[in-house]
Amino acid sequence: VGVAQACGVRSAASSPVGPGSPQVAELERTRRAAGARVVDVPLRAKQATVDLGGVQVPTWVFDDRLPGPEIRLRRGDVLRARLSNEVSEDTSVHWHGIAMRNDMDGVPGLTQDPVRPGSTFTYEFAVPHAGTYFFHPHVGVQLDRGLYAPLIVEDPDEPGRYDAEAVIVLDDWLDGVTAGPDAKLAELRRDGMKMDHGGMSGMGHGDMGHGSAGGGASPLGADAGDVDYPHYLVNGRLATAPETVPAKPGQRLRLRLINAAGDTAFRVALGGHRMTVTDTDGFPVEPVEADSLLIGMGERYDVVVTLGDGVFPLVASAEGKQGQAMALIRTGAGAAPPADVRPRELDGGLLMADALSAAAPVRLAAGQPDRTHTVELGMDMSQPYRWTLNGKAFDEHVPMPVQQGERVRLRFVNKTMMFHPMHLHGHTFQVVGGQRPGPRKDTTSVLPMQTVEVDFVADNPGQWMLHCHNIYHGEAGMMTTVSYV
Ligand code: C2O
Ligand code: CU
CA-CA distance, 319 to 427, in Å (whole number)?
A: 28
Looking at per-residue pLDDT, the higher value among 213 and 63 belongs to: 63
Residue 77 backbone dihedrals phi, psi, to 5 degrees? -65, 160
Report which of 89, 126, 86 is spatially closest to residue 108, judged by C-alpha positions: 89
Q: Atom 3, ligand 1: which residue's CA is nearest?
A: 96
- In this structure, are residues 308 and 273 in contact, taking their beta carbons and an 8 Å threshold? yes
Mean pLDDT, to the nearest integer, of 109-126?
98
Q: Tell me the CA–centroid distance for residue 474 and ligand 1, in Å.
A: 9
| Mean pLDDT of all residues belonging to the chain | 91
For 444-463, how does the pLDDT look when each residue is reduced to its tens digit (9 = 90+)? Answer: 999 999 999 999 999 999 99
420, containing H or E segment: strand 420-424
Q: What is the pLDDT of residue 15?
A: 81
Looking at per-residue pLDDT, the higher value among 381 and 284 belongs to: 284
Atom of ligand 1 nearest to the CA of 479: 2
What is the Cα gyration radius of the chain?
21
ipTM of predicted assembly, 2 dp: 0.98
96 Cβ below 6 A of ligand 1: yes
Fold of 165-356: Immunoglobulin-like (2.60.40)
Which distant-in-sequence residues (6+ apart) come within 8 Å of 272 by Cβ?
A: 308, 310, 312, 343, 345
Cα 246 to chain centroid distance, Å, stands at 27
**Ranges of H-type helices in 51-197:** 180-191
Q: Which ligand is nearest to the CA of 424?
A: 1
Fold of 32-157: Immunoglobulin-like (2.60.40)
CA-CA distance, 336 to 345, in Å (whole number)?
A: 18
Which value, to the nearest 10 degrees, does the dihedral of the CA atoms of residues 125, 129, 130, 132 take? -80
Is the pLDDT assigned to residue 372 strictly greater than 50? yes
300 Cβ below 6 A of ligand 1: no
16 Cβ below 6 A of ligand 1: no
Q: Tell me the CA–centroid distance for residue 380 and ligand 2, in Å.
A: 13
**Ranges of H-type helices in 336-458:** none
Report which of 298, 283, 321 is spatially closest to residue 148, judged by C-alpha positions: 298
- 182-186 LR contacts (CB < 8 Å, sep 24+): 182/140, 182/141, 184/141, 184/227, 184/472, 185/140, 185/141, 185/472, 185/475, 185/476
For residue 61, the cross-strand partners are 46
DSSP designation for 6? H
Q: What is the pLDDT of residue 14?
A: 66
Q: Which ligand is nearest to the CA of 481?
A: 1
Task: Report strand pairing: 451-457 vs 429-431.
Answer: antiparallel
Helix (H, G, I), strand (E, B) or coil at 186: helix
Helix (H, G, I), strand (E, B) or coil at 291: coil
Least reliable range by pLDDT among 4-8, 96-100, 326-330, 404-408: 4-8
Q: Atom 1, ligand 1: which residue's CA is nearest?
A: 96
For 131-184, how does the pLDDT look when each residue is reduced to its tens digit (9 = 90+)? Answer: 999 999 999 999 999 999 999 999 988 777 899 999 999 999 987 555 689 889
Which distant-in-sequence residues (6+ apart) come within 8 Å of 371 by Cβ?
A: 402, 403, 406, 407, 408, 409
473 Cβ below 6 A of ligand 1: no
Quick one: 306 exposed, middle or buried, by C-beta within 10 A (0-12, 13-18, 19+)? middle
- For the beta sheet containing 231-234, the strands, ordered from the edge strand earlier in sequence to the opposite edge, are 231-234, 164-173, 252-259, 300-306, 275-280, 283-290
Q: Tell me the CA–centroid distance for residue 413 and ligand 2, in Å.
A: 12
- Could you tell me which CATH number the domain at 361-484 has? 2.60.40.420
**Domain(s) of CATH 2.60.40.420: residues in the chain:** 32-157, 165-356, 361-484
- In this structure, are residues 325 and 254 in contact, taking their beta carbons and an 8 Å threshold? no
For 169-217, how does the pLDDT look when each residue is reduced to its tens digit (9 = 90+)? Answer: 999 998 755 568 988 999 899 888 764 444 443 333 333 333 333 445 7
139 Cβ below 6 A of ligand 1: no
